[in-house]
């Protein structure tokens, strides 16, 4: 849908402010709502050239056209236009909230009081919690238009975005490939213009690998910056709430709404007394003198890795040409496969957390992990995780769990020492050593997300380029570059990512 700005309406003073800040597109040019930014949508509403109802109508039409083939959504908000009209009336009274009528998609493991929260499971298909998750509550307070609930890898356990309720979400650049995940539905919704922003969760790879595969920006904040209250949990140690946007600025704007102390989630005590670690509209950073450590060990060596390696190497070359100092790190300790085995505690923490969540749902048809597993109605991709999660009677008291927690602390100290000694602003690596896989291949290949997730560090995945095109992927499939920063240095990391984004210019929408 194209909005024509050439017609004239009285422009309120607030619109002049938006234009003066450089966040409104030029007058007289049609705007494509599939790719419009948060700032553009706000400016158009202020100027009187776009209504909230028109935004909602566009979103519904876009979902009707695109979602049946991609399966990004499990549930679409049936009251979208009704809620848009209420926001429009508020706007007419002069109010403009930070995300006023910005379409936001919600991963279906966040509680929503007006839409089912299923985790993708057919066993929870009719569950509608009585309260919103903390993140959803903040989005509503910011004026967001909640589009619907997105598909995920069931209970966010695995990484291919397949669930018994939502089916298999497909890659919008090549529908014969995985959309990755587990937050793949959210990432695909943003990539295809079914939503401007989306929230998701990540335990190991779920935000950043989904962003990598969908050609969007995904931000994993420092552990403890965003409340996880009201989210179906996997791991106290590793779970975070983050989000997606088509640009670093949009993803950062979303995160700025979500950050904050929540007494229901003790981990958020980490932000108490701190200045906001997120910048809402990051401008191009001064990249001269910035230092990035390139983890060469996290790049593949085989012929199947060369397409990703070529994109990554080209991105690093552009960064160097822009004045970034590149420090090559060849350290065998950065081994994703070995580190996944030695740092991932989610198998141990899942069962008690999940059963506590089920207990918070008074009408839940299942009460225990055994109740969930016994009917066998979950995707085969979950089998290994569930087998491990169910075999321990008291997982948090096991020697193995304490060993893994000790490994995390040791690796965290080592990584902090490395970054401090080499004065690094970020560590860089491909999020996935291979491009998004075909559906006929085994999912979850050689992913590098374990380090940020186990250590609790912030990380941003942004588009770096595309693989060569072929018949199934006319413009190729996206390849992202992952940047991992120091804990609580999220603002600096986001600023660096914004500067790199403007150098790489790799944002390219799928042709749908």
* Of 37, 160, 182, 183, catalytic: 182
Distance, CA of 162 to CA of 120 (rounded, Å): 8
For β-strands 240-245 and 197-202, DSSP reports them as antiparallel
C-alpha neighbours within 13 Å on the C-beta side of residue 30: 6
| Tokens encoding 88 | 């429009």
| Tokens encoding 145 | 């238009």
Annotated catalytic, 35? no
Distance, CA of 60 to CA of 54 (rounded, Å): 10
Contact 271, 489 (CB under 8 A): no
| Tokens encoding 473 | 């992927």
Nearest Cα to 169, choosing from 200, 145, 139, 146? Answer: 200
Nearest Cα to 371, choosing from 352, 384, 355? Answer: 355
Contact 404, 343 (CB under 8 A): yes
Burial bucket for residue 255 (CB in 10 Å: 0-12, 13-18, 19+): buried
Nearest Cα to 434, choosing from 272, 293, 312, 347? Answer: 312
Nearest Cα to 226, choosing from 248, 247, 246, 207? Answer: 207
SS3 at position 42: helix
* Of 37, 39, 71, 107, catalytic: 107
SS3 at position 107: strand
For β-strands 145-150 and 103-107, DSSP reports them as parallel
Residue 73's beta-bridge partner residues?
150
Residue 427's beta-bridge partner residues?
293, 484
Distance, CA of 73 to CA of 148 (rounded, Å): 7
Annotated catalytic, 182? yes
Contact 316, 428 (CB under 8 A): yes
Where in the sequence numbering do the catalytic residues fall? 107, 182, 206
């Amino acid at each position: 849908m194209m909005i024509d700005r050439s017609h004239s309406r009285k422009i309120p003073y607030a619109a002049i402010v938006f234009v003066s800040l450089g966040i409104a597109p030029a007058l007289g040019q049609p705007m494509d709502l599939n790719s419009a930014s948060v700032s553009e949508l706000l400016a158009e509403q202020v100027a009187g050239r776009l209504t909230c109802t028109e935004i909602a109508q566009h979103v519904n039409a876009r979902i009707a056209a695109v979602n049946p083939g991609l399966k990004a959504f499990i549930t679409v908000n049936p009251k979208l236009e009704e809620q848009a009209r209420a926001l429009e009336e508020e706007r007419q009274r002069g109010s403009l909230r930070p995300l006023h009528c910005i379409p936001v998609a919600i991963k279906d493991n966040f509680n929503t009081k007006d839409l089912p929260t299923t985790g993708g499971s057919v066993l929870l298909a009719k569950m509608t919690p009585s309260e919103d998750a903390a993140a959803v509550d903040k989005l509503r307070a910011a004026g967001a238009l909640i589009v619907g609930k997105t598909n995920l890898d069931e209970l966010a356990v695995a990484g291919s975005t397949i669930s018994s309720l939502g089916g298999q979400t497909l890659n919008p650049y090549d529908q014969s490939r995985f959309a990755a995940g587990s937050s793949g539905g959210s990432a695909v919704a943003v990539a295809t213009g079914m939503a401007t922003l989306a929230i998701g969760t990540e335990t190991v790879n779920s935000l950043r690998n989904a962003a990598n595969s969908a050609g969007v920006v995904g931000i994993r904040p420092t552990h403890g910056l965003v409340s996880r209250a009201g989210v179906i949990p996997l791991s106290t140690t590793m779970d975070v709430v983050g989000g997606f946007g088509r640009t670093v600025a949009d993803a950062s704007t979303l995160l700025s709404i979500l950050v904050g102390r929540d007494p229901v989630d003790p981990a958020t005590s980490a932000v108490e007394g701190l200045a906001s670690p997120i910048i809402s509209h990051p401008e191009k950073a001064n990249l001269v003198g910035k230092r990035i450590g390139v983890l060469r060990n996290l790049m593949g060596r085989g012929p199947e890795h060369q397409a990703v390696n070529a994109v990554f190497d080209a991105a690093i070359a552009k960064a160097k040409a822009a004045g970034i100092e590149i420090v090559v790190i060849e350290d065998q300790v950065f081994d994703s496969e070995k580190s996944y085995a030695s740092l991932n505690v989610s198998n141990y923490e899942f069962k008690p957390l999940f059963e506590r969540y089920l207990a918070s749902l008074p009408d839940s048809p299942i009460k225990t992990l055994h109740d969930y597993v016994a009917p066998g109605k979950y995707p085969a991709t979950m089998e290994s995780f569930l087998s491990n999660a169910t075999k321990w009677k008291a997982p948090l008291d096991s020697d193995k769990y304490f060993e893994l927690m000790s490994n995390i602390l040791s690796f965290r100290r080592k990584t902090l020492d490395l970054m401090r000694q080499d004065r690094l602003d970020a560590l860089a690596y491909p999020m996935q050593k291979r491009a998004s896989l075909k559906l006929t291949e085994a999912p979850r290949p050689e992913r590098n997300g374990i380090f940020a997730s186990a250590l609790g560090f912030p990380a941003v995945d942004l588009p770096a380029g595309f693989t060569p095109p072929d018949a199934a992927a006319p413009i190729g499939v996206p390849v992202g570059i992952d940047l991992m920063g120091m804990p609580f240095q999220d603002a600096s990391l986001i600023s660096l990512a914004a500067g790199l984004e403007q150098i790489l210019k790799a944002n390219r929408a799928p042709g749908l």
